[in-house]
Structure formats: structure tokens, C-alpha cells
A and B are shown apart, each in its own frame.
Chain A
């Protein structure tokens, strides 16, 4: 299924409606009932003026505390790894296996040298650490692919397990923040932002809140 939209809000709401209407229910490892669709693609086109609007909406609920945009951005940009987290995206992007800066030492020089390259991919998933049967705290985000077309930087994020209600607004914002970092270095504009979710799901115990969001 592909959802393509000019605005983030309409893309998000379409995705939420699509899962509610077409998803299949299952019970996950934590005994929570999920509704899921497989292989959902959501693409939003520039200029991304409303990129943090879903976060703002989730922040307006008194029921929970949603992380701030600073905290969400920090997670993908910061190279510092807090010892109390089992993983963090920033260190895996900028210091993979304590040795590879995938953005500054690969993506940027590669796209500078070959703007049409199809090799501009970074990986978050580390089989040495994550491909273990009993390990449960593993990244949801798997890889990010950059491609320049019509002098614009397009980015696609691949997510293995994606809570479209709580997670996707943060994920797309992180993709925007990272794309902004790369595009500034490449001196080009940001094009489309796409997420590809292997398991796009919603938790059934959040349906009331989701309906509330859909009404907004």
C-alpha cells in the first residue's frame, strides 16, 4: 500500500485510517492486541512546512508525555550514547561499531562525488548486536537511503516495526532532521521523505485516542 501526500498531517491520518480499516489483529509478545498492515509506504512531498505538526498534536494531549522535537532530533543527531539505553540511533549513524561515521565519511563524500549514486545507504541494524533470538531491545529503524533526483535530496527510511500512531511522527521528523543535515552539506534542497514500514501497526488500546486525532 502506498500513501502519497503533500502534507504530513494528511499522510499520517490516511495511514491511521488505512490500518484501522484494513489491518489484521494479532497479539504481540507483550500480550497487547495490535492491528497491522504489512509493507506500508508513506511519502510526503516538500516543502515540509508541517513536519512537526503531528508531534505538536500528540504533545497537546494531557494523557501522556510525548518527547519534545529537541529530544527526538537529538536521538538521531547526537553521537553520545547514554549507558542506560540499549541502543541509540545517533551513535549507530555517526559512529557505527565505534568506527564508521556513515554520514560524514560516506554519504556526503559519495553524493558530492557521484550525485546520481545508488549506493547512498546507511544501516542502523547491526547483526552482531541485534540478530540474537532472545534480545528484545533492538532498533526499529533499519536503514536510510538517500537519492538525489532533480537536484533534490530524497530520503527513504526503512522501519521493521512501526507504531504509526506514536512512532511514525517521531520517525518522519528524525528523517527530516537527518536529511536537513545532509542537504546543507550538499547544498541542495530536501525532496520527498518516505517511510517504508514492514509492520505498520496500531495498538488496539489506543484506538480511542487515535479516533480523537482523526477528528482534529
Chain B
């Protein structure tokens, strides 16, 4: 048995439930070589020949490892679990119908056994009612992280870090205060960054949010941001979003910039995400599963005491999604719903417990990145319960009733979390366990029931003042209150539009409604002249 083959097998023996991409396998068995290749490729001062040599070396490593991987697939020891968009293969142990695989080659014996998966309290429900988000990597990858742009030297370092972190994350990464990176790097470098990350995110099915804090806008540098937005919208990377974190004050003060920016987004039919900093100072960002955010109070403490020297934060460790509509189509009493959510929370607790014990193994890159302040990296982390079709209605029930149910269930969940923290702390294991409620995006692809809510469409500014719209948004405001893990209002802007109108609309929403995060979708603005429809059927 050759050393590479042996190392691959030992890697899967260590984590028998893991699905690993070719790059991840190579990074694990040739860490030093990979490090020097990456350093050579990302070193701006290297000449073309050195970069070319490093790329050749990388290709050679890939070919070498793929040879052994394919041979293990032919021997029915590994299987190709999926293929990324760029053609990268993902491998997993071929253990279907077997409890273990025994390999006996050249005097070496390796036994690969099925992972011992602890049964979870939600297991009994999992038939389209509850689902672990990204089930294969539910425990051994972290859900979402936020990286602080100021913590990195330049865009190359940001790029390398994001690429490394993508291996440890199963949904979303955000880059906070990205305006600094735009100010301090050249546009061609930023374009290169977008291209690299976009490709990697698309391949691995993950997302990146670039958060631009408008309170840090410097008037003389807004042209560079406009140029960047122009390039971004021309490229329109599906896995990357830009979020403008603004207050109505900055919107008014920088109206020229925002009108230009809006024009670019309208022209390219790119979604524009707005976070209201007056309402919520903690960042919001996007994943496939839904929006992510931090607890406001905890964020303010972080901002005051830690942010300056921080490289980033874990936002969410694990997610379970719940189809409320389907649950109530099969169960009709409230106490069973509360019990169901409690079992969901217990499952998240078990998942966290495993993550804590194996953090060095599971989140190798993140632990390395945040060393020696790993504790601080997890200081604000939470877990998510995401609701799908929560606007469910029965003849005798109404939307407010469902919201009240979610709110009261949340109180019980908080009490459970507090008990667990007390128990573990008093036993000598200071443990953080927090759960946030939020909505689930259709893009999560969890195969739940057909969506039962209609979209919000507006065709002119005046509609924002209409009784119908106010009523609609008052429901949304209630939902925001119930969802402490964040919510997003998506508005489809149709009909004729002008950038100045849109900016005025932003201002009205920022000033009038308690909606911390909303999105303007210009995708169908040339479409039919439709009327405002209701949010929940």
C-alpha cells in the first residue's frame, strides 16, 4: 500500500461520515506542500514563472491524489458523492449495506467502520417536517461565520482566508465593513477576488456576503465604490451578495452615490440588500438557508470591547429547518408543536456538544485562524431553527396566533438554553448554547411543502403609504419581533422605476417601518403592471 493511499484511508477512518472534496483531501494529506503552493500563488511579489511553477505543482498533486482516489472508488471503498460546478469531485466512504470495510494490503490492515451517529430527538419527525440543514456536514462543519475585513492585510489575504474557511463552513461567510477593502485595494485585484471566490462558492454551494457600512463612506472615495459595484453587477456572481448597512441619515447625505449605485443594480437586475442600522446595529448577512444575524446586545459588547482586535466571529453552528404547515397538517395540537420544537432544540444541543469536543478536528482552519482566541471566535455563536410556511392558517386560527405561538415557544426555548448553560457551567464546563428563530429560504432546497405566501410587489412610491401596504408590513414587523435570528422582507419592484424614486422608497422604509433587513428585487421591473398583493395568503 502506497503512503498516499494509506493517508487517504486514514483520513476517512478518522471521519467516516465526512464527505471530502479532492482539494480538502489534498490539503489534509499534503498540508505543507499546499501551504507553500498557496503562498506562492497569492504572493503578489512573485514573478509569473514562480506562480506558474506553483500552479503546475498543484496540478501534479491533484493528479497524483486523484489516481489513488479513483482506484479506491474502483475497489468499492470510496464513492464519488457529488461533483462541484467546476467539476471537482467529492468523495465519501462506500459503506452502503456494510458495517465496515477491511483493507488488507502489503501487510497493513485498515478497518473502516460506519460512523457512530447518535440518534437525535428529531429523528422521529424527519419526514419532510424537520430537516437538518446540509445534513451530511450538519455537525462537522459550522453554519456561518463573519470575518472582519480590517483583520487582514490586503485582498489576497482575505481571499486566501475565505477560501480556507469555506472548507469549514456549510452555508455562509460574510465580510464585514468591506468598504475598507474597496478603499485600500485596486479594482483589478478586487475583480480577481470576486472571480475566485464566486467560482469556489458556486462549486461548493456556499454564499458570501459583502457588507458595506455606509456610516464609513468617505465622500471622496465613493467613486471607487461605484466602480466596484459596476464590476460586481457586470459579473453578477450568483453566490455573492452586497449588503448596504445604512441609516437614513447617510442615505440622505450620500444621495448622489446611492442613486448611482441603485442605477447600476437596476440596470443589471441585481438584488439590492439594505440593512437598517438605526434599527439594528449588528450585521445581517445571507445564506442559502436564510438570513443570519447576531444578538444586538451581544454585538454591542463585542463592538465596544473586542471588534478592534478581532478576526471574526462564528454566527451560527447548526441549523434545523421546520415545515410548520406540514407539521400542523399531521398534528393538530399546540402542545405537540412545543414538544416538537423542544426536541429540535435538544438535537441542536447534542450537535453543539459534539462540535465542542471535536472542534480542532472539525473546524481546523477556523481554529487555526482564530488561535489563540478561539473562545472569542465562538463568543456570539448561536444555532438556528428556521421556519418554513409559518403563515399557516386554519379556519379558527389567524396569523397573529401563529406568531404568538412562535413567540411563546421561543420563551420556552430560551429557558431551556439558560438551564443548559447553568448546568454545564456549574459542572465546570462553561458552555454557550443559544438558539435563534428565523425564516427559511426556498433556496435551501430542503424539499418542504410548496410555499404558501405570495410576494410583495410594488410599482410606485405612493404604494408605500397605502393602507394595504402598511397592514402588510405591520404583520412583517410582528414576524421580525418573533424571529430574533433575523428576517428579510423581499420586495419585487415592478413597473417603471428611477433610481431617485427607489432611494426615496428606501428612505421611507428606513424611517417608517421596523423592518431591519429588506431586499429590492429588480428582476421583473419591465414586467406587467401588477397590483400589490398580500404577503401571506
Contact = CB atoms under 8 A, between A and B. Distances in A.
A85 B430 contact: yes
Main secondary structure of the interface of A (DSSP, over half): loop
Nearest to A137: B430
A190 B129 CA distance: 52
Contact of A85 (B349, B426, B429): B429
Interface string A37-52: 0000000000000000
A2 to B, nearest CB: 22
A29 to B, nearest CB: 13
Which among B378, B416, B422, B427 has the highest number of chain A CB atoms within 10 Å?
Answer: B427
Nearest to B305: A134
A139 interface: yes
Contact of A139 (B419, B420, B428): B428
Contacts of B355: 84
Given A141-B428, A163-B422, A82 B356 contact: yes
Contacts of B429: 67, 71, 75, 85, 88
Contacts of B425: 140, 167
A83 B426 CA distance: 19
A121 B467 CA distance: 74
B427 A85 contact: no
A174 interface: yes
A82 B360 contact: yes
A137 B432 CA distance: 11
Interface stretch (A10-18, A58-66, A98-106): A58-66
A82 B359 contact: yes
Contact of B427 (A63, A67, A86, A203): A67
Contacts of A72: 427
A87 interface: yes
A84 B352 CA distance: 11
Nearest to A138: B430
B371 interface: yes
Among B350, B355, B422: residue with most chain A CB under 10 A: B422
A82 B357 contact: yes
B371 A166 contact: no
A122 to B, nearest CB: 14
Contacts of B431: 85
A89 interface: yes
Contacts of A163: 422, 426
Interface in B292-318: none
A107 interface: no
A92 to B, nearest CB: 10
A104 B350 CA distance: 33
Contacts of B420: 64-65
Interface string B177-209: 000000000000000000000000000000000
B346 interface: yes
Interface in A73-127: 75-76, 82-89
Interface string B25-45: 000000000000000000000
B375 A75 contact: no
A87 B357 CA distance: 13
Contacts of A155: none
A170 interface: yes
**Those 4 A-B pairs whose CB atoms lie nearest each other, nearest first:** A167-B426, A83-B374, A170-B427, A163-B426
9 contacts: A72-B427, A83-B367, A84-B355, A85-B375, A89-B428, A163-B426, A166-B423, A167-B428, A170-B428
Given A64-B419, A84-B375, A140-B425, 12 more contacts: A65-B420, A82-B356, A83-B359, A84-B374, A85-B429, A89-B428, A139-B428, A140-B426, A140-B428, A162-B426, A167-B425, A171-B428
